[in-house]
Amino acid sequence: MLKNLKIIISFPPEFNLDEWGRNQWETHSTKQRSTVQTYAKYQVKSFVETRDFKCRKRKLSDAGLEGEFVIRMNKQIKFGTNVDLSEPKLFGEHLDEINKLPWWLRLDDRSNPLSQVGYPILGMNTLQLYMKVLGSRTPGHQENLNMPAVNINIGPGDTEWFCTPPEYWGAIKKMCQENKVNYLSGSWWPNLKELEDAGIPVLRCTQKPGDLIFLNAGTVHWVQSTGWCNNVAWNVGPFNADHFKQAIERYQFNVGEGYQSLIPMAQLTWLMARERREFSAILSPEFKTLLKLCMQRILWNLQRQLYKFKKAEYRIVYQPEFGKSPPNYCEKCDVELFCILFVKAVPDYDENGKPLPLETYCEKCAHQICPLRQTWIVLQQHALEDLGQVIDDLAADCYSNPPVTVKKENSDI
């Protein structure tokens, strides 16, 4: 099943126009559901119609006649996105091929924390397919939490990429604001001339069938197909210290902007610290120091919150979290909830009198719903002593500064 079928207006890649032919950054599309089979038929039909169109135009030209045949670039097209390829029974052979890549590009590797988080994050630690016709666009963005990304064009046509170094994302965000579109949640397509005038460099390249594109952490990019093609994509998280720093900074920025981070960075941070021997290929001394500082800030904040709740006489219930379970998010603001969750003391019921699934909230949103402390139970999922011990163990590793083992593998890629 196609997760999304976007119906968009296609334009030349240098710019984006509104319905009156004026330049604008904001792009518009509508979403529908479809099947892979239905879209594949549309993809083939679009290719055949364009091929026949060009043939008729060429025949008229060869005959010395002028026709009215002009390829319209500003027409509606359909772009099939987010086809989930994670089912091993259906796509086992394809997943095996992906895992023949070097370890730092693999969808699943023991040294990749993103693939070891313990549950699927669709499109990030799972494989997704994008089915395109001529002119299909992926608007400008950075990957969620600035994660590195891998994209393979499986053809038969080409795709054109536009990439800008991560240090220019702030300037592009400001230009998005000037063009009245939200940088994080909006859909935007930069004007290349405006970027050039602002001194923002853009790398423009063509991805041929069989080409693999690796996007380093934080790269701002936007993509347009210049033919009929299919791409598979996923994210990787073989962090180095710089990648981790970028992820934490974007995580905090997302919290301030009210934008959900698909990767639970607090949970992932403690996972890497607990299982640091599994991730020895990436945990340099500098990386361990960053982990320790991040964890210390989280622990300090947890101590402060619990002290405040106890003083206010909230009911605090210790409910330990087991294994690598999916994270909890606030039902209202989508922020990650690590260790401390607010749940209603009296559950809500449906129209048949059955209890509804438990909803979790952050402190701020819980108090907005109801300020009375009797309404809420505070769930504590980790003992602070246990979290402190993980920090102490990691600190001991930092002080001893052991050698880092780096994987080296031969590859035909």
Is residue 350, in this structure, part of any structural domain at all? yes
| Structural domain total, the chain | 2
- Pair (101, 212) in one structural domain: yes
State which residues form the domain around 372.
Answer: 264-400
Last residue of a domain, one of 235, 254, 272: 235
Is residue 298, in this structure, part of any structural domain at all? yes
Query: What CATH number is attached to the domain comprising 355?
Result: 2.10.110.20
Is residue 130, in this structure, part of any structural domain at all? yes
Q: Please tell me the predicted confidence (pLDDT) of residue 19.
A: 60
User: What is the CB neighbour count within 10 angstroms for residue 285?
Assistant: 16
CB crowding 27-38: b at 16 or more within 10 Å, else e: bebeeeebeeee
**Closest alpha carbon to 44 in 83, 78, 81, 75:** 78
Q: Please tell me the predicted confidence (pLDDT) of residue 258.
A: 87
Is residue 122, in this structure, part of any structural domain at all? yes
Is residue 342, in this structure, part of any structural domain at all? yes
- Pair (225, 285) in one structural domain: no
Helix, strand or coil for residue 229? Answer: strand
- Pair (202, 282) in one structural domain: no
Residue 84 pairs with which residues in a beta bridge? Answer: 128
- Pair (116, 60) in one structural domain: yes
- Pair (57, 198) in one structural domain: yes
Burial of 413 (0-12, 13-18, 19+ CB in 10 A): exposed
- Pair (325, 391) in one structural domain: yes
Q: Please tell me the predicted confidence (pLDDT) of residue 401.
A: 56
Predicted TM-score of the model (pTM): 0.85
Rounded to 5 degrees, φ, ψ at 355 are -65, 135
Is residue 406, in this structure, part of any structural domain at all? no
- Pair (203, 306) in one structural domain: no
Q: Please tell me the predicted confidence (pLDDT) of residue 143.
A: 96
Q: Please tell me the predicted confidence (pLDDT) of residue 322.
A: 73
Tokens 């610290």: give the residue: 273
Q: Which amino acid is at 407?
A: K
Is residue 241, in this structure, part of any structural domain at all? no
CA distance 313 to 373: 8
- Pair (116, 226) in one structural domain: yes
Would you give per-residue pLDDT tens digits along the chain (413 residues)? 555 655 555 567 777 776 666 678 998 888 888 888 999 999 999 889 887 555 555 554 544 544 443 444 456 888 989 899 988 898 999 999 998 999 999 999 988 899 888 889 988 999 999 999 999 999 999 999 999 999 999 999 999 999 999 999 999 999 999 999 999 999 999 999 999 999 999 999 999 999 999 999 999 999 999 999 999 999 998 888 999 999 999 999 999 998 999 999 999 999 999 988 888 888 888 999 999 999 999 999 999 999 999 999 999 999 988 777 888 999 999 999 999 999 999 877 777 777 778 899 999 999 999 999 999 999 999 999 999 999 999 988 776 655 444 454 543 43
- Pair (309, 351) in one structural domain: yes
Query: What CATH number is attached to the domain comprising 81?
Result: 2.60.120.650
Residue 315 pairs with which residues in a beta bridge? Answer: 377
Between strands 315-318 and 376-380, the pairing is: parallel
How many residues does this entry show for the chain? 413
- Pair (193, 280) in one structural domain: no
- Pair (275, 184) in one structural domain: no
44, 151, 96, 33 alpha-carbon torsion, rounded to 10°: -50
- Pair (218, 283) in one structural domain: no
Is residue 246, in this structure, part of any structural domain at all? no
